[in-house]
Structure 1
Amino acid sequence: MPDEIADAKRALRAELRERRQLLSQHARDAAAAAIAQRLDALVDELGVRSMSCFLSTTTEPGTRDFVDAAVRRGIRVLLPVTRADGLLDWSVATPDLDIAEGLHGLPEPVGELLGPIAVNDVDLLVIPAAAVDRSGMRLGWGRGYFDKTIGSMEGCPPVYAVVYDSELLDEVPRDVHDQPVTGVVTPTQTLRLAPARR
């Protein structure tokens, strides 16, 4: 990766991380409730029976209420579990979900692990992001887990990134391995940005 792209990504991530840390608990709670409603509507619109989602950290736009509600509705939700080799294992969310700190300090499910290819059967991927631009390019947090996952899937289903409204940008720095997303879900809108790859 050229140094200027890496530097631009690092600087933007630092700015976005700081902005997230400054959000009040009230703003985070309101965002989580709105995102749960938007994801619920997206699942209905796409007729999703099986999907992947992530367990949000305290500063990320909240997804946990949505995951709980989706499981109660009978949707099969796969949650990512990080591996040292840069791939993701998957675990099925359950109503009594046990959560522990994962490899990079992220919240991850405790339970039976399914291999990396388990995600190939889902109807929708909902993934984290630091920011997304209007062409669908996603800026992740720099470890490449989701870029590798998306890039390796044949017949990839729609991929939606969850961000705060201020993180939908005109442009993000990009490199050759970066994978675009189909759309973005924020507390105030669900936008389709790029065609699904199926």
Structure 2
Amino acid sequence: MIKYDGTKAELRRDLLAARAALTADDVARSGAALARRALELPELAAAGTVAAYVSVGREPDTRALLEALRREGVRVLLPVLLADNDLDWAPYDGPDRLVRAGRGLLEPDGVRLGPDAVTSADAVLLPGLAVDGRGLRLGRGGGSYDRVLARLEKAGAAPPLVVLLYDNEVLDAVPAEPHDRPVDAVVTPSGVRRFSR
């Protein structure tokens, strides 16, 4: 793992710069490997409903994974960004049912299920920029997924939380705040690492 001693803002900048240097082929290859690794997780194999997200830009590609889950009969919920940065959820009905939304995001065009729909998920796949040896995830800083994690905790829901990253984004430590919650596992193109909550 890589050691980092900077602030969250500095770390985000450095990680986003590393992602910007990736080619489309790098992203596609990593996405295929991520899908294979993630589908091997028992948490996903046993899930009836998975809350996930559609990758954009140079994020680790989730599209192959979303399609594989859908083909296996898993109900996939995708986020819909609300004006206050909270997340609503809608079912994923295939790539042709995604629409371009604010901030360049792709969202399902179907019925909105409400922010609490995530509490019905058997597993939650989270975006991020990094994770550390404690399982603490560094996001982009908008707070949307902090709200999701708080909503799950408030509802007493404890689905496995899995972050999808590139290999170089698993660090020794990330700057943390009291509200940060650990994830259960990270999936990278080269493997899976589990954390104890």
Report the TM-score when normalising by structure 1: 0.90
Q: Return closer, same or farther for 1:192/1:14 CA change in 2, 3 Å cut-off.
A: same
Q: Which residue of 2 aligns with 1:143?
A: 142
Report the alpha carbon displacement of residue 72 of structure 1 after superposing the two structures with TM: 1.2
Name the aligned partner's letter for residue 47 of structure 1: A
Q: 1:175 is matched with which residue: 167, 174, 177?
A: 177
Q: Return closer, same or farther for 1:10/1:121 CA change in 2, 3 Å cut-off.
A: same
Q: Is the 8 A contact 1:50 1:123 kept in 2?
A: yes
Distance in 1 separating the partners of 2:139 and 2:180? 9
Q: Is the 8 A contact 2:87 2:144 kept in 1?
A: yes
Name the aligned partner's letter for residue 54 of structure 1: Y
Q: Return closer, same or farther for 1:170/1:149 CA change in 2, 3 Å cut-off.
A: same
Q: Return closer, same or farther for 1:84/1:8 CA change in 2, 3 Å cut-off.
A: same
Q: Which residue of 2 aligns with 1:163?
A: 165
Q: Which residue of 2 aligns with 1:132?
A: 131
Report the alpha carbon displacement of residue 43 of structure 1 after superposing the two structures with TM: 5.0
Q: Is the 8 A contact 2:93 2:108 kept in 1?
A: no
Name the aligned partner's letter for residue 48 of structure 1: A
Q: Which residue of 2 aligns with 1:109?
A: 108
Q: Is the 8 A contact 1:132 1:184 kept in 2?
A: yes
Q: Is the 8 A contact 1:97 1:109 kept in 2?
A: no
Q: Is the 8 A contact 1:84 1:103 kept in 2?
A: no
SS of equivalent to 1:169:
coil
Name the aligned partner's letter for residue 36 of structure 2: Q
Q: Which residue of 1 aligns with 2:52?
A: 53
Distance in 2 separating the partners of 1:160 and 1:104? 24
Distance in 1 separating the partners of 2:65 and 2:99? 19
Q: Is the 8 A contact 2:43 2:123 kept in 1?
A: no
Q: Return closer, same or farther for 1:96/1:45 CA change in 2, 3 Å cut-off.
A: closer
Q: Is the 8 A contact 1:97 1:110 kept in 2?
A: no
Report the TM-score when normalising by structure 2: 0.90
Q: Which runs of 4+ in 1 moved over 3 A?
A: 43-46
Distance in 2 separating the partners of 1:11 and 1:137? 17
Size of the aligned set, in residue pairs, is 190
Q: Percent identity?
A: 37
Name the aligned partner's letter for residue 132 of structure 1: V
Q: Which residue of 1 aligns with 2:193?
A: 191
Show structure 2 runs of 5+ residues with no match.
none
Show structure 1 runs of 5+ residues with no match.
none
Higher relative contact order (CA 8 A, sep 6+): 2
Deviations 1:160-198 (A, max 9, x none): 000100000000011122221111010011111133xxx
Q: CA RMSD in A?
A: 1.7
Name the aligned partner's letter for residue 14 of structure 2: E
SS of equivalent to 1:174:
coil
SS of equivalent to 2:125:
strand
SS of equivalent to 2:176:
coil
Report the alpha carbon displacement of residue 27 of structure 1 after superposing the two structures with TM: 1.6
Distance in 1 separating the partners of 2:103 and 2:42? 29
